[in-house]
Structure 1
């Protein structure tokens, strides 16, 4: 059983009586609940009650504004009382919360915990004013939220499956969801799962939620209500992901108060592309984060699609994002949609029929059903993503100063004021950390975790901590002061690679050969002849197109854009297509052309499309299904290798110079240790060691010889008068 709660307003927890009104609903409730109950086939009115831990006595007085670190509630569900033990969630949002000049928000009333008597139960609750969220009991998922303007603090309780919304699916339209097979090119999952032990214990997702103007207007232009709603949603998301050892940390909310900077009309795919482009150009420079999710307040879905996201794109500046429709007041249901799209970002595919979880359906089910638990298949997908090196930004925990509220030793996460935190004493397996005090185990230790921590000591600066993955990636090095490796940086988008035959984009050299190998592994697939692109992609069908319209029709590529539609390959075994793919083969003027369509769901963009940055002509590259001048890929035109880096380095994705060994950043003018101001020095600083060697091997012997010589002279001069007197 899992329980997740949240709330809306900024008042203290309220004391409730223990009653349950399940079948008779007064006219007052029908009036204030309005549209929500109109969508419900069944629901109950219940009264949660605060319980004082000491003696389990009933507390009938209203609690104060300062929220308890721990609190318990009793709640009747199906005429049975359940006890919820809650503890304040200190990882929900950071102290330096990013939302421009919006009014102050209440972030002290969000809790996680457990349900008494239910093994493996989980609670995520906000108690700002009443309770709102979901409760999963066995195979049933309930939602709970306060009744507006109720003088007796009544709450609405209902099953999410009883919420009658328009038919929506994350899978392919009119296709059985069992055909949505996982797409995992490259190394086999079986071999990857043998390496699970190499994974870090906890992954941290730094999330920014972007609220469009329609949602802002829907909330009566109340900025505080919008931000509170997003903080509440993040608390729910954190609860859903916690069983996978993934923590969701909300680091920002952006609200489009005046108007949307891009259109949210058209197909879901078109809106997603506009959002990630805006995220890259505007949001990332303002607040670097791991995943961005757009909340669209339109009243209906995009032709049956509630959300869409790029699969396995987490940490990507260009594509780590998703869009989600949220046009009503059902926050619990909307949070499961966002959890689903974030799951895609984290490498999770739609669940097969063989995938199981604690509920009747799982979060990554192809059909939206309000599920709140992940399947083992989703966990395996995430493990695969990490082991493929695509989740590097998730490995470092947020800075302790970013975590809200006071520190709590033993929660397994580094809080402000702690040197380390390895969990409870019975859980701790870290020799560098004292679990009782959350301090280092010895006076000689200065770290306990991280790629730059070895035997409880931070390694010297210049020590490699992350090698470059390919010709467009850059290595990172320890800086000598932090136990964690710097973020992952790569060469600036638009730089030529593979002997100027292709261009760097998102840290990869975007060649067609590489894309074919990724799609059709283990086949030795390579790019097909150009005539295959010009023939297939100008047809505008399942296997050759330049995107999809809002009505679901395939877009024919213009002749000049034909290289930017579906990837066309050769040297492929068409009798053994990749999982989840339908493959066709054609012979055009004697050239073999193989292309594919992957059945991953309408909320997932087909991975068989040509990647941005792929070359499509002399000095040109693909971008958004168009063949454009390659200069359009350049993310920072102010940085050039010749001028900015003085020909002794190259520009990284931050517009800074990554200097060659022997030259110092930021501009590679003076002698130094290479690297950049972002990735750390590329050479170990041996100056101290060399100084000590010189001191002990040269200075000390010379000084010793001088001292011995002086002593010899002194002693000889002292003996001479005695010898002379003896002679006399």
Structure 2
């Protein structure tokens, strides 16, 4: 299982302030459901900016609630999160020149105070340059040690200032080392683990035993010997094959620049820019967020903490809505007490103060175990903290969307969870880590590109099919930098292909149909709420939609459905029963067709895992595949002949070999076989772990995979047995006893039974001396087997 992380940003060289902000309504007052324009100035009045905003009702789910926990982890009380209490908006940004206003980007803000002197926080873009708005108090709490100080004019309160900094103002290539090898206070935040006065940029996942299995060094471009199994390590795999003599990683990192791994199981060069597999209609990913004591203590009240979290999720959601048609919806919020407990409570072991003994990896493991105890259907859970480890400010398990239980392997506990430390670009870190949860790998950097096999093996996302280094332009760059406001085309293909192949589970995503929201229904917000037939987003959003009335949210004339929102709708009518609404993805995933009397596409049905679907192929997560084929898919760019095969049949993490890699060489990939792939005989892979295997099944599987060896060995053994039998028979025949010829003149009755029974073969004996009639004598003879037997002489006839 791959673990991915984010790094702390570099300092900024310049900040500005929002001046002359004005809400463009008659009273300058707004409600949570208001749509309005907001204008202000930047750079001491040199730049005029305008936001056109609408409410973002998707951020809070209909049953959103907040739990307040005591220091010991017990729930103090629970209350609903009412959307009407939070003024959360989304929209567009505009700039003004001599000809008037022109469109320049997007905007996501949360208004803290309306009226004549409004206060707001959020993010927006101007000409692809991301801008971050923070209240001065938040800026001072999260600023880099070398960020500019807040200037407060005469007669002005620092609490009334809104600070703005741009991604383009973040220094690139920054490194700082203080005197005597000690870091300047605050340069890497409030975390621990920085050594030797340098910024620690090592991916923490590279140190975890779960990610770096014994004998499978994923994050090192080295060759490690694999010792032959001795008496204590005897196994079927090593009986006849001689064992692989060395194993090679194709991560491309040296252990200090992580960000490899791929949950999609495809060659990333071939899917750049492809949205095949992502939702075609709006989906909602419900998330849970928890704060530890250090994060809660950052705010003077719990209400401010709640407001900040909602604002951050609002900003992060924009990227997923624009790119993947997925909205982030806050379902559950857990806020712990600001006073940290003396010892970690058993009910929330992740709720501990910052300490050198508890790293960000430790928090993720503890939080993942806690997430596994929650009975909910959330797509993921996020832990917010202020405790960093070195320069790492975020950590997530790769491709664990919709994974609600917790699995423990070695020292790691894996679930659909991530951990994020508070920074001035908190929403970006949230988006980055959720990107990992959805299956995105890191973008390629100059370091990872230095190892050519890294990109060939799809261990990082290249800029294009011909250019490796993404140059820090996109969100999945290992650290935040300037000009980052979107996912790269490679990341888009990475996530969508993972969805398509079911490498990442998407069954927990909800559709935009009959959504219950907390505030009163509002026609035109793009959400089909109870009592509405349709909602295409108001007059501007509906465009040429002929099915939905944009002002009443009712169907037009004879329309019974809306083509824009429902898969089985054609021309505002139910599609015919023969209409394919979900195409087949192969023999294991048949096409779904419309019923003819509904606008909803039937549930996606796939064949059971293990179903035969071709020669040496079986169904796994709806894919007709095999272990060898999955190796060929991911390693196709590396092997010219693509004769790649799986190294073994027991593990559920991809390890592949090919004659082109060299004799006895196995390449380890930091990604899993598809869930449902056979392993260890009668077992199946699940989330990188082989489950349900038995010793008998492994023996039977080994025999099936090594029929030639079994036949050859069996033939040899049979020949040896046959030869032994023939030899025995030959020897027996040579030792068979002969009938004894009586001495001359002797008489033996014909009816004497001794002549009809086999008798021992005797050495030749001299004839007995002449004896008178009626006399007899005895003497000893020797058998061929050296036992003694009495020889009875016969009576001589006259």
Residue by residue over 1:6-53, the C-alpha shift from the partner in whole angstroms, topping out at 9 and shown as x without a partner, is: xxxxxxxxxxxxxxxxxxxxxxxxxxxxxx9x9876545554522435
Q: 1:527 aligns with which of 646, 654, 672?
A: 646
Whole-angstrom distance in 1 between the partners of 2:278 and 2:690 = 40
Paired residues of 2:586 and 2:623 also in contact (CA < 8 A): yes
Match of 2:516 in 1: 402
2:439 is the counterpart of 1:324: no
1:297 paired with 2:389, answer no
Q: Any idea what SS the aligned residue of 2:42 has?
A: strand
Q: What is the aligned partner in structure 2 of residue 154 from structure 1?
A: 161
Query: Which of 288, 295, 306 does residue 377 from structure 2 map onto?
Result: 288
Is 1:112–2:90 an aligned residue pair? yes
Alignment of 1:237 onto 2:316: yes
Distance 1:474 1:275 in 2: 38
Report the CA distance shift for 1:624/1:443 in structure 2 as closer, same or farther (over 3 A): closer
Match of 2:63 in 1: 96
CA distance in 2, matches of 1:221, 1:623: 44
Q: Does 1:125 align with 2:121?
A: no
Counterpart-to-counterpart distance in 1, 2:678 and 2:281: 39
Whether the 8 Å contact between 1:52 and 1:71 is mirrored in structure 2 is yes
SS of alignment partner, residue 240 of structure 1 = helix
Q: Quick one: distance in 1 between partners of 2:286 and 2:122?
A: 20
The answer to whether residue 417 in structure 2 is matched with residue 336 in structure 1 is: no
The reply to whether residue 70 of structure 1 matches residue 36 of structure 2 is yes
* Post-superposition offset of 1:217: 4.9
Please give the per-residue CA displacement for 1:501-535, whole angstroms capped at 9, x wherever unaligned: 999986679964454344334735333356xxxxx
> Which whole-Å CA distance do the structure 2 matches of 1:111 and 1:351 have between them?
30
**Counterpart in 2 of 1:375?**
488
Residue 656 of structure 2 corresponds to 569
Q: CA deviation at 1:141?
A: 4.0
Q: 1:122 to 1:191 in 2, by over 3 A?
A: closer
Q: Structure 2 unaligned runs (5+)?
A: 1-7, 68-76, 96-101, 114-118, 138-155, 172-185, 190-198, 204-218, 220-252, 337-344, 352-356, 406-413, 446-461, 695-798
Structure-1 separation of matches of 2:108 and 2:17? 21
- Structure 1 range deviating more: 44-53 or 109-118: 44-53
**Could you list the runs of 5+ residues in structure 1 that have no partner in the other structure?**
1-35, 531-562, 575-584, 588-592, 598-605, 632-728
Indicate how the Cα distance of structure 1 residues 295 and 564 shifts in structure 2: closer, same or farther if over 3 A, else same: same
- 2:108 aligned counterpart, secondary structure: strand
1:453 matched residue in structure 2: 569
Partner SS, residue 61 of structure 2: coil
Contact kept, 8 Å, 1:212 with 1:297, in 2: the verdict is: yes
For 1:191 and 1:74, locate their aligned partners in 2 and report how far apart those are by CA, in whole Å: 42
Could you say what secondary structure the match of 2:41 adopts? Answer: strand
Aligned to 2:709: none
Q: 1:612 to 1:460 in 2, by over 3 A?
A: closer
1:463-494 Cα offsets, whole Å, 9 max, x none, are 985578689879878688763336657789xx
Is the CA contact 1:351–1:365 (under 8 Å) kept in the aligned structure 2?
A: yes
Partners of 2:122 and 2:58 lie apart in 1 by: 18
Per-residue CA shift, 1:668-726, capped at 9, x if unaligned?
xxxxxxxxxxxxxxxxxxxxxxxxxxxxxxxxxxxxxxxxxxxxxxxxxxxxxxxxxxx
Deviation of 1:125 (Å): 0.6
Q: Offset at 1:123?
A: 0.9
Among 555, 562, 566, the alignment partner of 1:440 is: 555
**Matched residue SS, 2:511:** coil
Aligned partners of 2:481, 2:35: CA distance in 1, in Å? 33
Partner deviation per Cα, 1:316-344 (whole Å, 9 max, x = no partner): 66788341322x4x4x5121111012223
- Counterpart residue number, 1:134: 123
User: What is the match of residue 773 of structure 2?
Assistant: none
Q: Is the 8 A contact 2:363 2:419 kept in 1?
A: no
Residue 21 of structure 2 corresponds to residue 49 of structure 1:
yes
1:405: Cα distance to partner? 3.8
Moved more, 185-194 or 511-520: 185-194
Residues in 1 aligned to 2:126 and 2:347: alpha-carbon distance in whole angstroms: 40
Distance 1:134 1:497, change over 3 A: same
Deviates more, 1:255-264 or 1:332-341: 255-264
Q: TM (normalized to structure 2)?
A: 0.53
Match of 2:443 in 1: 351
Q: Could you tell me how far apart the structure 2 residues matched to 1:231 and 1:349 are?
A: 26
Give aligned pairs, total: 521
Superposed displacement of residue 406, structure 1: 4.6
Contact 1:619 1:629 in 2 (8 A): yes
Judged with a 3 Å threshold, the aligned counterparts in structure 2 of structure 1 residues 507 and 169 are, in CA distance, closer, same or farther, namely farther
Deviations 1:289-326 (A, max 9, x none): 4x314224151137736223314x54566788341322
How far apart, CA to CA, are the structure 2 residues paired with 1:393 and 1:625? 19
Change (3 A) 1:391 1:77: farther
Q: Deviations over 1:168-206 (max 9, x none)?
A: 75878768979979886548866886886x976544241
Distance 1:444 1:43 in 2: 53
Conservation of the 8 A alpha-carbon contact between 1:213 and 1:259? no
Q: Which residue of 1 aligns with 2:533?
A: 419
User: For 1:121, what is the secondary structure of its paired residue?
Assistant: strand
SS of residue paired to 2:418: strand
Q: 1:303 to 1:348 in 2, by over 3 A?
A: same
After superposition, the Cα gap between the structure-2 partners of 1:153 and 1:48, relative to the gap in structure 1 and judged at 3 Å, is farther
SS in 1 for 2:535: coil
Q: 1:176 to 1:625 in 2, by over 3 A?
A: closer
Whether the aligned pair in 2 keeps the contact of 1:84 and 1:113 (CA below 8 Å) is no
Residue by residue over 1:71-127, the C-alpha shift from the partner in whole angstroms, topping out at 9 and shown as x without a partner, is 413133354243332322232222322445534545340112223325241110100
Distance 1:619 1:394, change over 3 A: closer
Q: Give the Cα–Cα distance (whole angstroms) in 1 for the partners of residues 629 and 358 of structure 2.
A: 32
Q: Name which one, 1 or 2, has greater alpha-carbon Rg.
A: 2
> For the residues of structure 2 that align with 1:269 and 1:471, how far apart are their CA atoms?
41
* Distance of 1:426 and 1:250 partners within structure 2: 21
Looking at structure 1, the residues matched to 271 and 387 of structure 2 have their Cα atoms a distance apart, in angstroms, of 45
The match for 2:50 is: 84
Q: Deviation of residue 438 (structure 1)?
A: 3.4
Whose RCO is larger (CA < 8 A, sep 6+)? 2
Match for residue 428 of structure 1 among 534, 543, 546: 543
Q: What aligned pairs does 1:499-514 form with structure 2 within 5 A after superposition?
A: 512-513=627-628
Partner SS for 2:425: helix
- Would the alpha carbon gap of residues 276 and 144 (structure 1) be closer, same or farther in structure 2, given more than 3 Å must change? same
Asked if the contact 2:683–2:693 (Cα under 8 Å) also holds between the matched residues in 1, the reply is yes
Distance 1:306 1:245, change over 3 A: closer
Could you say which residue in structure 2 is the equivalent of 1:365?
477
